[in-house]
Amino acid sequence: MSRPALTAVFTFSTTLCSSDIAFAFPVVPAIECDMRAGKISLPEFIVKCPANCRETKEKVYGTGVFASISSICNAAIHSGAITNSGGKVIVMKMAGQAIYKGSFANGVRSLSLPNWRESFSVSGSVDLTLNIHCWKTTTSICKQAPYNCKVDIAFLVDGSWSIGKRRFKIQKDFLVEVSQVINVGVAGPMMGIIQYGDDPVTEFSLKQFSSSKDLKPAISKIVQKGGLSNVGKALSYINKHFFSDANGNRGGAPNVAVVLVDGWPTDKVEEASRLARESGINIFFVTIEGPDENEKQNVMETNFVDKAVCRTNGFFSLSISSWFALRKEVQSLVKRVCDTDRLVCSKTCLNANDIAFVIDGSSSVGTGNFRTVLQFVANVTQEFEISDTDTRVGIIQYTYEQRLEFAFGQHNNKADLLNAIKHINYWSGGTSTGAAITYAADQLFSKSKPNKRKIMIVITDGRSYDDVRAPALAVHRKGVIAYSIGIAWAIQDDLEYIATDPDRDHSFFMDEFDNLYKYIYIVIISLFIANFLHKKMSTKI
């Protein structure tokens, strides 16, 4: 295939199949050196980097493939796409990686980073080889190459008698086409299938087939088992048995469960779904020919889809009017399950957290700095899905005394939570951090839900007037993952006592409040890693 030509409006064309196809890369206006790829919500685009970005020393994570929190321009210099004189760069987004290795190249030092949610690559405007792939479909349309999609997917196939033999075959044909589109392979998505009726059964695990070619005959051979549509039982099954190391779960790849339902479940799904989500499984519901008005009285759990999936404006659910329209939804479903940036249950690393912020409100902080701390808290919580079944946030402000600003579950959507954070009033007084930690244990963590990960983030700017060791040890023993963030006059020993071991992963220090913003993503990444390790340990148990 010849290299496509670059025109003045950045449109690329080549000849594939039987027609000309134009691929247009959106052009983003000139950017600053510190612009991160994740801030631009386009899958591929062209930007113009200014000169002298290397002198700014903006952070870059990875080599060749970079984490989306990296500076675009410094990543481009590091990779050799442009020089320090600047220039136009093509940015192409891709799925997150399990690890990004740092290196030194072209005067830019990139850093190592584990497990970020989105990646990107950069190339100069003269190197525009596009990876195009043409599938033979019923419409003979050329499509872009298979999705760069590293996820572990379980499809829960409806084998109940209500579906009938003809529609059961349509369901299998749909899964065959999905497997071809996502291009199953060890470097990309892996796919397993569970058939459910009265009871669920694994047709094949994640590790059983490593190519789309091998999957096609395996799916075709699946025999309908019949029975009821016990979706809740099937979700409990995948949570306890399917996503395990022994079955091929890769750990670094998001876990996805796609439930296909003919009509409605014959058992309850809310509790089983909640537990599965809290284990880090991103649940998608594809409902076909749902109940009409006369049938709704037979539904065991009303609004079962809303109760089963993460609250993200319909992203995790597809409602299809007819089985014969199912095939049209292949691209829509694949696009969603491969959009690792929006897989919030895994994006926020399992998402089921009770996070307590314990904030120093002493006189040495000052009103302006206190507002900076609140903005930091807001920025961190912004990354989490906020609801009673997902992440809950509580905040304590302390001086010599302690004040519960709000408890877990008091604000159960993101807008209300961010508004509540914004309106916290600065207190002023002394610094008794140890008493504040004990207060957090009594007022917040004593009311945590059993399946929530308990996380405490202590932010302080000075020496505590009381002992922090015994209170910190007490919350550690209760399973609380503790982070300490020290600013200015904070004492390193206190920060290390507060932090969960290893201290270097859970304790941070900066000279002044204005540098807090630099640690937003570091703290978020640390939370991701802690939650991921929690899941791995829970799976082994």
User: What is the pLDDT, as a whole number, of residue 501?
Assistant: 86
Residue 45: give its domain's CATH number. 2.170.130.20
Q: Which DSSP helix (H) or strand (E) runs through 487?
A: strand 481-487
Do 202 and 238 belong together in one domain? Answer: yes
Residue 99 has pLDDT above 70, yes or no: yes
299 or 151: which carries more pLDDT confidence?
Answer: 151
Is the CB of residue 259 less than 8 Å from the CB of residue 284?
Answer: yes
User: What is the pLDDT, as a whole number, of residue 105?
Assistant: 85
195 or 501: which carries more pLDDT confidence?
Answer: 195
Residue 333 has pLDDT above 50, yes or no: yes
Residue 313 has pLDDT above 50, yes or no: yes
pLDDT band at 293, cuts 50/70/90?
A: low
What share of the chain in percent tops pLDDT 90?
41
Q: What angle do CA 460, 523, 38 make, to 5 degrees?
A: 135
Structure tokens at 324: 């014969």
Domain assignment of residue 297, yes or no: yes
Q: Please write the tens of the pLDDT for every residue from 408-457.
A: 989 988 899 999 999 999 999 999 999 999 999 999 999 987 667 899 99
User: What is the pLDDT, as a whole number, of residue 139?
Assistant: 31
Do 177 and 319 belong together in one domain? Answer: yes
Domain assignment of residue 501, yes or no: yes
Do 114 and 229 belong together in one domain? Answer: no
Q: Please write the tens of the pLDDT for every residue from 139-165.
A: 332 333 345 688 899 999 999 998 889
Average pLDDT over residues 157-174: 92
pLDDT band at 131, cuts 50/70/90?
A: very low
Residue after which a domain boundary falls, among 90, 124, 158 = 124
Domain assignment of residue 6, yes or no: no
Burial (CB count within 10 angstroms: exposed 0-12, middle 13-18, buried 19+), residue 124: middle
User: What is the pLDDT, as a whole number, of residue 219?
Assistant: 95
Do 311 and 360 belong together in one domain? Answer: no
Do 95 and 184 belong together in one domain? Answer: no
Do 358 and 334 belong together in one domain? Answer: no
Global confidence as pTM = 0.46
The DSSP annotation for 190-240 comes to: EEEEEEESSS-EEEE-TTT--SHHHHHHHHHTPPP--S---HHHHHHHIII
As for how many domains the chain has, the answer is 3
Using CA atoms, how far apart are residues 535 and 279, in angstroms rounded to an integer?
A: 6
Amino acid in the structure at residue 59 = K
Do 359 and 272 belong together in one domain? Answer: no
Average pLDDT over residues 21-46: 74
Residue after which a domain boundary falls, among 289, 321, 342 = 342
Domain assignment of residue 26, yes or no: yes
Which among 250, 258, 388, 251 has a CA at the least distance from the CA of 311? 388
Q: Please write the tens of the pLDDT for every residue from 356-410.
A: 999 999 999 999 999 999 999 998 888 787 887 678 999 999 999 999 999 998 9
Structure tokens at 456: 């405490």
Is the CB of residue 398 less than 8 Å from the CB of residue 434?
Answer: no
Burial (CB count within 10 angstroms: exposed 0-12, middle 13-18, buried 19+), residue 187: exposed
Do 323 and 182 belong together in one domain? Answer: yes
User: What is the pLDDT, as a whole number, of residue 106?
Assistant: 87
Domain assignment of residue 23, yes or no: yes
Do 327 and 202 belong together in one domain? Answer: yes
Using CA atoms, how far apart are residues 535 and 348, in angstroms rounded to an integer?
A: 13
Average pLDDT over residues 510-525: 78
User: What is the pLDDT, as a whole number, of residue 155?
Assistant: 96
Residue after which a domain boundary falls, among 342, 367, 390 = 342
pLDDT band at 15, cuts 50/70/90?
A: very low
Using CA atoms, how far apart are residues 355 and 392, in angstroms rounded to an integer?
A: 6
Do 290 and 199 belong together in one domain? Answer: yes
DSSP state of 29: P
Is the CB of residue 448 less than 8 Å from the CB of residue 388?
Answer: no
Domain assignment of residue 210, yes or no: yes
Do 379 and 510 belong together in one domain? Answer: yes
Q: Please write the tens of the pLDDT for every residue from 458-475.
A: 999 989 999 999 999 999
Highest average pLDDT, of 1-15, 423-437, 447-461, 520-534, comes from 423-437
Q: 76 — phi, psi (to 5°)?
A: -65, -40
Q: 242 — phi, psi (to 5°)?
A: -80, -50
Domain assignment of residue 143, yes or no: no
Residue 60 has pLDDT above 80, yes or no: yes
DSSP state of 39: G
Domain assignment of residue 131, yes or no: no
Average pLDDT over residues 502-514: 85
Q: Out of 90-104, 139-153, 491-505, pick the least confident.
A: 139-153
Using CA atoms, how far apart are residues 395 and 404, in angstroms rounded to an integer?
A: 6
Q: What is the mean pLDDT of the chain?
A: 81
Do 282 and 221 belong together in one domain? Answer: yes
User: What is the pLDDT, as a whole number, of residue 529?
Assistant: 57
Average pLDDT over residues 289-294: 69
DSSP state of 178: H
pLDDT band at 351, cuts 50/70/90?
A: low
Using CA atoms, how far apart are residues 77 and 59, in angstroms rounded to an integer?
A: 12
- The helices-and-strands tally (H runs, E runs) of the chain is 15, 25
Residue 414: give its domain's CATH number. 3.40.50.410
Is the CB of residue 97 less than 8 Å from the CB of residue 65?
Answer: yes
User: What is the pLDDT, as a whole number, of residue 468?
Assistant: 96
Average pLDDT over residues 335-360: 73
- Residue 105, domain extent: 11-124
Residue 519 has pLDDT above 70, yes or no: yes
181 by DSSP, 3-state: which?
helix
User: What is the pLDDT, as a whole number, of residue 361?
Assistant: 96
